[in-house]
Structure 1
Amino acid sequence: MTIVDGELLLEVEDLHVEFRTEDGVANVLNGVGYHVRAGETVAVLGESGSGKSVTAQTIMGILDMPPAVVTEGSVRFHGEELLSATPARRAEIRGESMAMIFQDALSALNPVFTVGFQIEEQLRVRRGMNRREARQRAIELLELVKIPGAKQRVREYPHQFSGGMRQRAMIAMSLALDPELLIADEPTTALDVTVQAQIMDLLAEIQAERNMGLILITHDLAVVAEVADRIAVMYAGRIVEQADVAELFRAPGHPYTEALMRSLPRLDLKGQTLQTIKGLPPSLLDIPPGCPFHPRCERVQDKCRTERPEPLGLGFGRVSACHFAEEVVSRA
């Protein structure tokens, strides 16, 4: 399928997910919503446990068994509702049209099969290729992600690859069926800075060539500033701010985003103590009333403790779920 630049690929709307455990119901997602267009990079940012990966897994249809329960919302791909689609249809879309790079390549790859076999399998099943054709395509994909000696390395096992090479192999596997949308879940975790830069450059290059939509899940603000077009900031299972990357870095519109920005190391603050966000994210089994960020917020007022803020449009496509969003932006 030819993808038109700017074409709307994915729409996530008011998504709610619960984890029903022995300790109670954890409200993991609480009304998540964002969209992705062809050729666009949307970075989903937030602390661990904010719901970034759960949202991605729900989109992919790999989080559809207890204790996880989708209770409300919509996930549409090219306008087609995925949450009500049959398992067969979800499986058809997964890989063919949407693919995901998982956070830990060593865990995601099967240790008892060669890297080449794991890439070739989907080509034989989905594309009807014979073994020779699939092997040749696997070598081409490994070369695409700049793995040296691809003809030899296609026969090697995951443990024989370095961390950066395993991540490249995962990217090759995810690109095998030419997806229109790629979800990258912390693709540079546990890699050194040089390899991180190489992986991000590789993703940007492939995205530009194929005009893919890209969802980048991360907590690395430096990476976000370099590659993202838009940012969705998550806290306690909810999108608390969405904005164009330049606008958000210029003037955050939510106290949580503001606090994240202050925690960034800066050259002009050399010798000073790095600021942190006090306290801890709330337990999803017991999310505070009102704004879930209020126990940690330096701008908290009485209203924040009792009334949940609804998303407020601030112009230029920016939205913030804060009672005092306009004041936050104006003071930034």
Structure 2
Amino acid sequence: MTQPLLEVEDLHVEFRTRDGVAKVLNGVSYHVSAGETLAVLGESGSGKSVTAQTIMGILDMPPAFITKGTIKFRGEDLLEKSADERREVRGEGIAMIFQDALSALNPVFTVGFQIEEQLKVRRGMSKADARKRAVELLDQVKIPNAKGRISDYPHQFSGGMRQRAMIAMSLALDPELLIADEPTTALDVTVQAQIMDLLAEIQKERDMGMILITHDLGVVADVADRISVMYAGRIVEHADVYELFRAPGHPYTESLLESLPRLDLKGQELKTIKGLPPSLTNIPPGCPFNPRCPRAFDRCVSEVPAVHNLGMGRTSRCHIAEEVVARG
């Protein structure tokens, strides 16, 4: 087996605020290889985006503190590198599509300028060559009349077109690994499908690794190879996409799948997960999901579940993981 592109191991991050210490990541571990798509699932506040930002090196100053763990890219620990060395990895090694393209793009510069700038600074291209490459990138992400639209500002693009422009910016330096943080947020279903198809097509062409951060199980089913499910800053389940949908190994994953709308349940009330995710400044003892878990028992309240190996690279942080899988 070849070495993964990225290996995150036992990553801990906390935010030290006036209201207390928020333990945002509590031992996150996952990996992704070239040509592979890892989906990271979970409710808002579970730590998905914080993990991505830590990997990118844009979350390394107060009030955020990385207290433990390693982030290895091609075998080298990024946390041991200087700020300048991390900057060299960003863009060419690892790139990121941010959640809200309208916020991520600078409103006072044209879309073309924002793509060209990194090509001139990082690749030493002339203005003419950078403009030509920027047009090619916009054309690659299927923006109609790329040559004419390159001088437009972000507000002149539709939501789907802005997201395509963000993808073009992320691909400009030919990254080996792409982190897509909620790339289809606030887009209609048709545009969502187009964006995901586009990412899959580009990934196949470049043999690029991809981490897809989302809360949309429907998107995940079509594009992911493996899934890591997060809750309260922990990976509670990790599995092959087919195995996870066939038989979830954690009550939280089980509850997420049960909350999906299904055609065969037409007219029935949609199931929901009761309660709210815990405050990260006051995570409950034992399993953090226990206040909302329909299967919780005494041990869940008093003891943090260990990682259970369920075989074939599948793991679950649940005291009764084998029982949950068997019932699935």
Q: Structure 1 residue 6: deviation in Å?
A: 6.1
Q: Secondary structure at the match of 1:232?
A: strand
Alignment identity in percent?
77
Counterpart mapping for 1:41-52 below 5 A: 41-52=37-48
SS of alignment partner, residue 8 of structure 1:
coil
- Structure 1 counterpart of 2:33: 37
- Report the AA paired with residue 125 of structure 2: M
Aligned to 1:54: 50
Q: Equivalent residue for 2:125?
A: 129
State the alpha-carbon separation in 1 of the partners of residues 260 and 310 from structure 2: 24
Correspondence for 1:269 among 265, 269, 284 = 265
**Deviation per residue, 1:48-91 (Å, 9 max, x gap):** 00000000000000000100000000000000000111000000
Which residue of 223, 246, 249 maps to 1:250?
246
3-state secondary structure, aligned to 2:294: coil
Q: Is the 8 A contact 1:233 1:240 kept in 2?
A: yes
**Over the residues paired in the alignment, what is the CA RMSD in angstroms?**
0.8
How far apart in 2 are the matches of 1:261 and 1:115? Answer: 39
In the TM superposition, what are the counterparts of 1:317-332 in structure 2 within 5 Å? 317-332=313-328
Aligned to 2:111: 115
Q: What displacement does 1:179 show?
A: 0.1
Aligned partner of 1:224 among 220, 228, 235? 220
Give, in whole Å, the separation in 2 of the partners of 1:25 and 1:237.
Answer: 13
Report if the CA contact (8 A) 1:6-1:40 is conserved: no
Preserved contact between residue 20 and residue 67 of structure 1 (Cα < 8 Å): yes
1:30 counterpart letter in structure 2? N
Match of 1:292 in 2: 288
Partner of 2:187: 191
- Aligned runs of 1:47-196 on 2, under 5 Å? 47-196=43-192
- 1:305 correspondence with 2:325: no
Task: Find out whether 1:213 has 2:209 as its counterpart.
Answer: yes
Number of residue-to-residue matches in the alignment = 328
What secondary structure, in the 3-state scheme, does the structure 1 residue paired with 2:91 have? helix
- Looking at structure 2, the residues matched to 272 and 198 of structure 1 have their Cα atoms a distance apart, in angstroms, of 31
**In 1, Cα distance between equivalents of 2:246 and 2:312:** 13
Q: Which amino acid aligns with 2:263?
A: L
8 Å Cα contact 1:17-1:69 kept in structure 2:
yes
Task: Find the aligned partners of 2:229 and 2:317 in 1 and give their Cα distance.
Answer: 10
Q: CA deviation at 1:7?
A: 5.0
Amino acid at match of 1:189: T
Q: Name stretches of at least 5 consecutive residues in structure 2 with no aligned partner.
A: none
Determine the C-alpha separation between the residues in 2 that align with 1:7 and 1:247: 24
Which one-letter code corresponds to 1:229 in the other structure? D
**Tell me, what secondary structure is at the counterpart of 1:28?**
strand
TM-score, normalised to structure 2, is 0.99
CA contact (8 A) 1:6 1:39 kept: no
